[in-house]
Amino acid sequence: MSKAEALLLRNGLFYTSPRDLISGDLLIEDGYIVAFGSHLQRPKGLLSCDLEGCLVLPGFIDSHLHLEKVAGDLEKVCLSDATCLADVLTALEAHTTEVPTDGWIQVYDEDCAWSEASLREGRLPSVSELDLALPNYPVFVSCGRRCVLNTLGMRKLCATDLDPNSKAALSSLGDRSLEVIEGEGLIKAIKQMIPTPGFEARKAAVIRAMHALNRVGITGVVDPGRSDVSFEESWRLYTEIAAEEKATVRVSLMARFPAQDQIRRALTFLRSRPIQPVDRWFNESQWLRFGGVKLIADGEIETGWFRAPLRFPYDRGTIKHFDTEELFSVVWEAARHRCPLGIHALGGGASDMALGVLSEVDQEIPILPIRFSLIHAFFPDASTYERCRKMGIIASLQQPLVYAYAPQMVDAWRIDKAQQVNPVGVWLHQGITVAAGSDVLLFDPRLGLWSMVTRTTRLGTLLGRSSALSIAEAVSSYTCGGAYLTHSEGERGTIAPGFLADLTIFSENIFQVPSDSIPSIGIKVVLVGGRCVYSDGELNVLQNL
């Protein structure tokens, strides 16, 4: 991307601070907002764009999006709109134009994205049906705890040089290779056997994913890292994308490690290498910064560390990845190095343990300036709020996660407990900074805003209506909140002179439309550093990628 030219945005409605909408013009130079007001003088030869009264927001920052993983997920087939087997087979066949010859065709099966029960036939396609439709491609169709491999897919897996555990899993299939395969562990093993793309292919996928994020108004993400790829490799991937001038999303990358070995590796990371400052970018183009270290305290919906155990049959065992002494050792080192720490603590028990350790360290090393965060924290109580407020702990919350997994949450927790999940409004009203994110492929901020405002979920019902936000509060959590989490509140998240020109321009005023219209509001233009990274083609911004 070439250096952005100076640009004057005229006749816009600018959201300059919470609950503050101002009509006027905006001047951008060298990627920054340099002037804002009414009827700014237009120097001769300056590029300009008449916004025709369109609403301009700061670019959205997704504070919890596994960008590398999402990039891979976007390469899979989405079957959320399929209503019959013919739809499934058509979608799979259409995807052959997107993959190399003999490349694997996989279905995206997370986030409750689709179900065979929603198909008219009520089943997965058979091996023979897959073989007939896609004879030249290995195909893996999975849904929940059931999947099917076509003949070529099974043949390719058998021919792969597998590790002993994978060979054992594959041999356990036996004659079931011609039937639907069942079992969560077996399906997970098959997924691990399918070859992963190489470094250059992953880079290309991330670049495509960045453009997908731009299309929904996202200009920045906090990537919590991957446990199966080293921090150094991910850092190199993002660095090369920026160096090749192909980055269109600013990334704050966290260091994450395999859950079973995370304490030792986090300590090694903190003790053996210079910790990069989190309050500045690491290249002149400001595309990449260090986001701290992430730890995983507990499991997920059915395996979280709750204050009281789940009831049969949904109690699949509480996962506790470390004890207080182990966590203390990492928190102490992180505080000593002034390195932010994000702790995945889904259940109330995990949040209580984490905050207890943080409070102990805080007595010796004040952690408020460092900006530690609790990630998910689905079930806070009065003590949670009090301690987070005292220590400046940021709540990194993901309403799209609740929207997507509401069916599983209601099944596992029962409706009374599920109604208490993710009380974003209470967090804010308790004086805690909330940084909004997605953590799922449903990363469109418009869906997140709508679900935070209405508390609507995929079930079509409301969970936690009393915890709903105003649209202004929701927008702030997606802009100011993400900037504060990443120590960049002096650079982005606000429309003001001196700030980066990361802007999302809407077709309608999101603060005035009915709540249920929020997900469908059009996005006209997205600018990152004053460059147009997305346009619907109707507004002439006179700049293109």
Q: What is the pLDDT of residue 2?
A: 46
Please report the pLDDT score of residue 540 as a whole number.
67
Return the pLDDT at 38: 84
- Gap between the Cα atoms of 545 and 543, Å rounded: 7
Token readout for 243 is 């160096």
Give me the residues of the chain with pLDDT under 50, please: 1-2, 175, 177, 543-545
Q: What is the pTM of this model?
A: 0.94
pLDDT of 11: 93
DSSP labels for 454-507? H-B-TTSSBS-GGG---HHHHHHHHTHHHHHHTT-TTTSSS-STTSB--EEEES
| Residue 173: per-residue pLDDT | 62
pLDDT attached to residue 103: 87
**Confidence (pLDDT) at 544:** 39
**Do the Cβ atoms of 238 and 205 come closer than 8 Å?**
no
N- to C-terminal Cα separation, the chain: 6
- Look at residue 46 in the predicted model and tell me its pLDDT: 82
CA 210 to the chain's CA centroid: 12
Q: Which domains does the chain have, with CATH numbers?
A: 7-59+497-535 (2.30.40.10), 73-193 (3.10.310.70), 269-283+291-485 (3.20.20.140)
pLDDT of residue 312: 60
